[in-house]
Structure 1
């Protein structure tokens, strides 16, 4: 049951990280767009670091899920 919950709760994090790789401007401004009258300009360094952090996030989530699978004894004990 714990593995199933971990998989379900990791889906939004995967979605945000993948969205951040393809549209970093929109992902950076997510939930902050209301603060500005016009969108701010982001530097190339900021975009590169944001994409790098999204790749690291995908990696950490994947490692976490693999550890959960190993701890729970594989896919046969999902439920």
Structure 2
């Protein structure tokens, strides 16, 4: 099973960051219609077996995610 980590433990390329920001903007509008604040949603990441990263947010109506290729992300801090 892929390891789940906090999104603040990784850095992603500017392109992937912009894409996720666009997704969260749309997500915020949808959540607002359901009376949920975006700040209440926990953004996480999963390190996949192929080295890619999946950024995701679990919502009451499902999960929103973005797959980030291995070359477009890195850990922000050294791994022990």
Give 1 or 2: higher strand fraction: 2
Structure with higher Rg: it is: 1
Give 1 or 2: higher helix fraction: 1
- Of structures 1 and 2, the one scoring higher in RCO (CA 8 A, sep 6+) is 1
- Normalising by structure 2, we get a TM-score of 0.30
- Normalising by structure 1, we get a TM-score of 0.30
